Structure formats: C-alpha cells, structure tokens
Amino acid sequence: MRHVDPAVMIDLVEQKVRKSERERCQQHLTDCEGCTAEHESWWTFLSGLAPSNLTDAPTELLNECIAIYQKPEQQLSGFQKACVLFDSFLQPLAVTGLRGTMTEARQVVVGTDAFDVHLKVSGKESNQTIMAQLLPKGYIDVADAEIQLRVPGHAALLTRSNEFGQFTLKAVPSGPFFFLITLPPSGNMVQFSV
C-alpha cells in the first residue's frame, strides 16, 4: 500500500489535488491510520497559518514602543555654543597701545564647537567692512556657509563663505553685530553677538 506523499498531503488540505488523485488518497486515508493522523496534523498546522483578522495594538502602546526606539537628539544639531575668545576692543593687546602700531581695525575671535570665527572690522562707524574666516576644528566643511548679520535697526546682511570659509560684508552699520551662521549640509547653526 502506497502512503500519501507529504506534498500531496498538503495539496489535499489545500484542495489542489485532481479529483481522481483525491479519491485515491481519501480511500487510503480511511484505511491507513498513520496517513490519517498525518493528514490531520497538516490540516491543523495549515489552518493555523491562515490569515487571521489582525487588530492594531492600542495607540498608547504603539507610542510607547516608538518612544523606545527614538534616537536621542544629536549633539551637533541645532544651535551650538559660541563664545568670544578675543576682542581687541575689550582686550587690547599691549602692542596695539604702542605709538605707530595702533590699528583701527577691530579683531575678534569667536570659538564654537565646530569652528572658530576670525573677524576683522574696519572702516568708519556707519560704513564698516567685516572680513572674516571660519576656521574649522577637525574635518568640517566651512565652505558655502550661510552668513546672516543683523544690526538692530537695519536690514539683515546676507552672504556666503567661499571655499576657504572666508566672507566679507560691506557697508555694515555700527554694531552690536548679531551673527547667525548656518553650515550646509548639516544645518548646524551658530549664533553669537560681538
């Protein structure tokens, strides 16, 4: 007596067997306890695989699960700290006090986590020129950074740094100066006033 092949057994459960074959198998199953048991186990197993009506988990539970996998905010995103490291107006170098070496330009160095900003402010009160350079700390691209200078009571001045991180702003009214520097592509922003 030929037992029912497991592959045929599966087809049998899924009703994919031709009529003549099915009749032969069903006849065998009535005579063979082993195949009957196997057929029943396949039936149980395959019916368990049938698609069931899935229901969504409660919203609260889903939100809790999402919260578990949310990454903490990256340190380098958003605003970064900036502090004035040097300002010739506030901390005049000894040599600048010497006759003949006094320069009219104001030198400012601002330090941030990602880069230093060297500023040189020259010219008359109402028509100043600011020449500056962003000096990266480590491997950070300071080219094509968006520079925004706001002086209270005046329209914002906009420019971009060149490939060396340098930029120049002309016709700058007298300060205080509020700088907002945005680095592409990270979008990191640094804000400081001098």
3 near Zn ion, rule: CB under 5 A: yes
* Cα–Cα dist 163/65, whole Å: 45
Least gap, CB of 2 to Zn ion (angstroms): 8
**Segment interacting with Zn ion (CB under 5 A) among 34-42, 53-61, 116-124, 180-188:** 34-42
Cβ atoms of 188 and 114 within 8 Å: the answer is: yes
32 near Zn ion, rule: CB under 5 A: yes
Cβ-proximal residues to 70 (8 Å cutoff; 6+ apart), any chain: none
Least gap, CB of 54 to Zn ion (angstroms): 37
24 near Zn ion, rule: CB under 5 A: no
* Cα–Cα dist 8/39, whole Å: 10
Which of 12, 17, 25, 35 is in the footprint of Zn ion by CB under 5 A? 35
Closer CB to Zn ion, 3 or 150, in the complex: 3
Closer CB to Zn ion, 31 or 125, in the complex: 31
* Cα–Cα dist 194/175, whole Å: 8
Whether residue 176 has a cis bond before it, omega within 30° of 0: yes
Least gap, CB of 33 to Zn ion (angstroms): 8
* Cα–Cα dist 133/140, whole Å: 14
**Segment interacting with Zn ion (CB under 5 A) among 25-33, 79-87, 99-107, 154-162:** 25-33
Identity of the amino acid at 57 = A
Residues that bind Zn ion (CB under 5 A): 3, 32, 35
